[in-house]
Amino acid sequence: MKGAGRMTSVIAGVSSAIGLETAKQLAAAGMNVIGIDLAAKDGPLVKRRIREAGPKAEVRIVAADLSSLREVRRAAASLRAELPGGRLDRLILNATAVPDRYIGTEDGYELQFAVNYLSAFLLTRELFPSLARPAEARIITVCSASHRKTEMDWRDPMFRRRYRPLQAFRQSKLALVLFTLELNRRVACRVPVRAIGVELDPGPVHPAVGERARRGGRPGMLSNRRDRGLSAADAASAIVRLAVEPPWAVPGAYWRLGRPVEPSPYARSAGAACRLWRLSEDLCGTHFL
């Protein structure tokens, strides 16, 4: 990408309503934007809308199915080749799948766990060398208040024996919070990378730009759920603030409604986080920190 003097952000789930609004606001704020989108045919439309908001920003769309570990690795390799100076300033993990029944991925994992959590873990791992280059990089995970209503099902994390869509969603979002806090523990005082969770309460699911709620044999990707009472633009503003404000203006590792808050007691458990980290490494076939 050109424009090496600008900060660069990568947004997973860029074509969702919140993802697109986040990209538009970041471009308007002067950042280069690389989005990860499910369908290549939707890329030009998404790219055009982002450029309309930030005409001077460099914009690129990478097509990838984030339910596939192979696709996550391929997308990360493509991104690394395009990053100015090999550095990445902001990684925003916004991809979300919300099926109404059990769908298995090509890797044999449950769709929501794969898209909502494992793709975030693996994408962060694959892009981490680029995140470690800036003086101050941030990883922003789009979380949900629903994480407060569950614990990890260690015996059957993929819910193969009895699938409950809402419970699977809650667990995937809990895993994302556990990951966010554990990443900070592991990088503390070692590299200038900081993870921040932003809690967007689940609300009505609405279609993403160019995406279809496909049901059947192929994974159906849906957009993030909106905050009740918030437009997609307002929800995106909460993410963008954490991305653009100076470090002193965004203290804390977990935010809701414009202020730092504590996630659930279970989400703060270092023991559960370490167990999930080991499980994630095993499922992804990799080692991370």
Q: What is the pLDDT of residues 107-139, one digit of tens each?
A: 999 999 999 999 999 999 999 999 999 999 999
Residue 289 placed within a domain: no
Rounded mean pLDDT, 32-47 = 86
Q: What phi and psi, each to the nearest 5 degrees, are found at residue 104?
A: -90, 145
Is 22 part of any domain?
Answer: yes
Q: How far is CA 173 from the centre of its chain?
A: 10
Q: Is residue 279 assigned to a domain?
A: yes
Per cent of the chain over pLDDT 90 is 80
Question: Would you say 112 and 169 are in contact if contact means Cβ atoms under 8 Å apart?
Answer: yes
Q: Is residue 3 part of a domain?
A: no
**What is the residue-averaged pLDDT of the chain?**
89
pLDDT value for 224: 42
User: What's the pLDDT score for residue 42?
Assistant: 78
SS3 content of the chain, % helix, strand, coil (to 5): 45, 15, 45
CATH number of the domain enclosing 210: 3.40.50.720
Kindly tell me if the per-residue pLDDT of 81 is higher than 80.
Answer: yes
- DSSP lists the bridge partners of residue 260 as 255
231 found inside a domain:
yes
Strands (E), the chain: 8-12, 32-37, 59-63, 90-93, 137-143, 193-199, 254-256, 259-260
pLDDT value at position 189? 84
Task: Tally the domains of the chain.
Answer: 1
Quote the CA–CA distance of 6 and 127 in Å, as a whole number.
18
Residue 87 lies inside a defined structural domain of this protein: yes
Structural domain includes residue 184 = yes
What three-state secondary structure class fits 248? helix
> Is residue 200 one of the residues assigned to a domain?
yes
Classified as helix, coil or strand, 176 is helix
Range of the domain at 83: 8-284
Average pLDDT (157-172) is 96
pLDDT at 2: 56
